[in-house]
Amino acid sequence: MTLWMLVALIALVLVVVVRRFRGTRLVADDLVGAPLVLTAIGLFQLHSGVGLDRIGLGDGAWLAGALVLGLALGAVRAATVRLSSRDGALLARYTPATLAVWALSIAGNAGFGMLAAAAGAHPDGRPLQLCIGVGLLGESLVLGMRALSTGLPFSPGTRPGRGAPSRADQIVDAVRAARPVAPPPDGELTRSPSVRDGVAWLRGTHTGAQGGRR
C-alpha cells in the first residue's frame, strides 16, 4: 500500500468515526458507501498483490479468518451504536463502547496479521482496505437490521438537488415493504432498538420498537 493510499484510508475511517460519534442522520447511501468502496479497493489490491486466481489454500484460510474476524467485530460495533429519532427519521450515534470496540478491532486485526505473517502467509494476502471494508459491512448490516425494526424511515441522501432516490434508498424501501413494521405512533423512539429487535424483525415476528412480538 502506498503512503497516499494509507493516508486516504485513515482519513476515510476517521470521517466515518467522527461523524457517527457526533451523531448523524441514518442515510442508506452512508451505510453502503464506505464499506463497498473499501471492499472494492481491497479486492483490487488483493488481485494486484497476489492474484485472485493464485491464492493458495493456506493464504485463503488466513484471508477467510481475517474477513470473518472483521465481519464479527463490525457486528459487535453495530450493537453498541445508539439509534434515536428526530422529526420522524432515524439518527445514529457512536458511544464510548463503540470506540472501545473499534480499538479492539484494530488490535485484533493487527494480532491476527502478525500470526498470519509468523505462519508464512503472503504479506499482501490480507489487504487492510478489504478487512476494514468487510468490518464496516458487518456494522452496516446489523445497524440496518436494527433500524428497520423500528418502522421509521431512513433520511434521504444528502447530495443537493438529487432527483430520484438512490439505488441504496430503493433497496431499503423494498426491504421495508417486504417486512413492514408499525412505527411509533408519534414517530419518536423511546428506546434504542436492540440486536434482538433486529433479529425478530428479520424473522417477521416484530411489530416495531414500541410494540412487541406477535
Residue 83 pLDDT > 90: yes
Q: pLDDT-based confidence at 159, cuts 50/70/90? A: low
C-alpha to C-alpha distance for 89 and 119, rounded to whole angstroms: 49
Residue with cell 494476502: 125
Banded model confidence at residue 187, pLDDT cuts 50, 70, 90: confident
- 27 compared with 6, residue with greater pLDDT: 27
Q: Where are the domains of the chain?
A: 3-155+165-203
CA distance linking residue 114 with residue 206, whole number of Å = 43
pLDDT at position 212: 38
Using the predicted structure, report yes or no on whether residue 52 has a pLDDT greater than 70: no
Q: Pick the residue with more confidence: 53 or 197?
A: 197
How far, in Å, are 38, 69, 77, 129, 138 from residue 55 at the CA level? 20, 19, 30, 18, 24
pLDDT at residue 42 tops 90: no
